Structure 1
Amino acid sequence: MTPISINGSSTRSAVVVSVSPLVLPAPGRPVELQVRVTAPATGNHLPLLLLSHGQGPSNNLSSLNGYAPLVQHLAARGFVVVQPTHLSSATLKGHPSLKNHPEMPLFWRERALDMTRILDALAVLEAAVPAIAGRVDHRKVAVVGHSMGGHTASLLLGARLNDPNTGDTVDVRDARITTGALLAAPGRGGEALSATATRHYPFLLTTDFSTMTAPALVVAGDNDPSPHLTVLGSPWHTDPYRLAPAPKTLLTVHGAEHMLGGISGFDAAETSDENPARVEAVAHLTGAYLRAQLIPGDPTWREAQNALLSSANPIGKLVSK
């Protein structure tokens, strides 16, 4: 792996600082908004990355405490990573303030609004974490989401849906977020959904990627059939690439299942395809893509593509449009 430079210094083994829990202003949210901030200890003009967690059976990975393998890698390579605990987190299961909420159990709109709240409160966030004060470039913002977090990222990048309770078209795109990465994200709705998803997650029925115009990297495992969500098998997770307009890039990861080798946590029991090398590769390619989108002239993405193409045993394949 080629080291990435921040202000001329290698970040291959960069020291990372992490602070949590931080509470941000969130008027109208039924539960306070808690976040974790993870950042390189040195460097300036750092791009901001908002990370949306997925779901899963664990009690804490679906919160600000999860995704350490991905977060540590990205922070060490120059990103300030902010992770909210969404209302769908298992850590909030049974919270009395969430009872009878119309978006239960996945709180699809509230998830996207959490990211907008974070961007609205960046001054508060920097004041609460002196280690990053004055070091964040507010003009360079990306979103990354895994699984249900990928759905959240797609909405923030321009995808739309119809509110299953009202039928109204929902558009929550935030123009401050200019690029992103969707990891093992849900695909299209309609006949592609399983009976379980249609019954329990009706907001997925009307997902429209045709309005997701922002540049994005879509990452999908070719062994991720997700039968609880779709009848189409693994190719369903490539829909955000196929059905959205250019510019988009698709990374199909060979042999990867839904956790892409274990991005949600070190040694997580729910990872069915544990593979540290795969996690490292997915994290590296994700970070490299986002750096190229946010930092004109950054060579990391070109180098990462060349390394993948020249590998005797590549972890996956890339296509772009």
Structure 2
Amino acid sequence: MSDTTSADGSNDSTAPVISVSPIALAAPDRGQELRVRVTAPTTGHNLPVVVFSHGMTLSMDDYAPLAGFWAARGFVVVQPTHLDSLGLLPDDPRTPLVWRIRADDLTGVLDQLDTVEAGVPGLAGRIDHQRIAVAGHSWGAQTASTLVGARVVDADGTPGESMRDSRVRAAVLLCLPGTGGADLSPLAARYFPFMSPDFAELKTPSLMVAGDHDQSPLTLRGPDWFTDGYRLSPGATDLLTLFGAEHGLGGIQGSHDTRTTDECPERVAVVQHATLAYLRTALGIDDDAWPTVRRSLAADVDPLGRIDSK
């Protein structure tokens, strides 16, 4: 264990949580300020940080089941609202670059962590700037993946520039879109051509989470499309596959998003506990947290999922 603390220094304890929004961050090249929600425990010091990227049409106000759970157990969770959720018009010159602006949003949060701290009463001086992770769901997972080494393939078929950020030590990528090209549906090829990742340089330790019933309109393949990041990236150390789960993984977006078609609190609980354990181990907080979850799930007589590791 490190000296990172939660309510009583243990993984099972919870602390009171404060959530503040919006906190405005400077973004001079974005066209408008970057607004974030910060959810943090009211107690503890040396608190690690998770910067979370939301899925399409969602915002900083979603994913409370994850943000609140992580924060109550010792993490500071920062959630930006990306431009695509702010009514960006098709003819806006920023629209073709929105995937890149999304990545810049996450980097901008890291650049302005002092402002983030100052915006939350009682948080100043309590963040561990050396323990930073990124996370995201769906399009947000692709956004987060660029900070740990994934690249977007250019029109000529070569991987684009790296946006990897050395400050990020781990990632949790939920329903990460898979490879592009012939695997994309006509819908995705027309509107989301940037969903053509190259995972060869994704080397930062990362947990992938996928549902085995996640049938996406973005791909001509089935649910295994969302496991490409695990298969093709050297940094994807583990894959949690949830049985029966669709794109909402049981409802991780929270009550604001009514599109969850596989609502299952027990499935959400698996995601909560598994992602927390992975983050704690990957960030050097508790070496036993992730192995314990792996053993527990493997021993379950009626498991809700399985974990593959490499």
Structure 1 unaligned residues grouped into runs of 5+: 57-61
> What residue number does 2:184 align with?
193
| Cα deviation, residue 103, structure 1 | 3.5
> What residue number does 1:223 align with?
213
Amino acid paired to 1:217: L
Describe the SS at the equivalent of 1:211. Answer: coil
> What residue number does 1:157 align with?
148
CA distance in 2 between counterparts of 1:195 and 1:270 reads 23
> What residue number does 1:184 align with?
175
Amino acid paired to 1:264: Q
> What residue number does 1:307 align with?
296
> What residue number does 2:6 align with?
6
Structure 2 unaligned residues grouped into runs of 5+: none
Identity between Structure 1 and Structure 2 (%): 48
TM-score of the superposition, structure 2-length normalised?
A: 0.93
Q: Which moved more, 1:156-165 or 1:18-27?
A: 156-165
1:100 to 2:92 alignment: yes
> What residue number does 1:37 align with?
38
C-alpha distance after superposition, 1:35-72 (max 9, x if no partner): 0100111111110000000015xxxxx11111111111
Describe the SS at the equivalent of 1:129. Answer: coil
| Cα deviation, residue 299, structure 1 | 2.5
CA distance in 1 between counterparts of 2:20 and 2:53 reads 17
Measured at CA, do residues 247 and 234 of structure 1 come closer, stay the same or move farther in structure 2, by a change above 3 Å?
Answer: closer
Backbone CA RMSD of aligned residues? 2.2
> What residue number does 1:15 align with?
16
CA distance in 2 between counterparts of 1:24 and 1:246 reads 30
| Cα deviation, residue 33, structure 1 | 0.3
Aligned positions of 1:1-321 closer than 5 A:
6=6, 8-10=8-10, 12-56=13-57, 62-89=58-85, 92-94=86-88, 99-104=91-96, 107-164=98-155, 169-205=160-196, 207-226=197-216, 228-246=217-235, 248-266=237-255, 268-321=257-310
| Cα deviation, residue 168, structure 1 | 7.7
| Cα deviation, residue 128, structure 1 | 2.0
CA distance in 2 between counterparts of 1:300 and 1:19 reads 29
The answer to whether the Cα contact below 8 Å between 1:6 and 1:78 also exists between their aligned partners in 2 is yes
CA distance in 2 between counterparts of 1:138 and 1:312 reads 40
Q: Which moved more, 1:256-265 or 1:306-315?
A: 306-315
TM-score of the superposition, structure 1-length normalised?
A: 0.90
Describe the SS at the equivalent of 2:29. Answer: coil
| Cα deviation, residue 83, structure 1 | 0.2
The answer to whether the Cα contact below 8 Å between 2:62 and 2:257 also exists between their aligned partners in 1 is no
| Cα deviation, residue 179, structure 1 | 0.8
The answer to whether the Cα contact below 8 Å between 1:163 and 1:170 also exists between their aligned partners in 2 is no
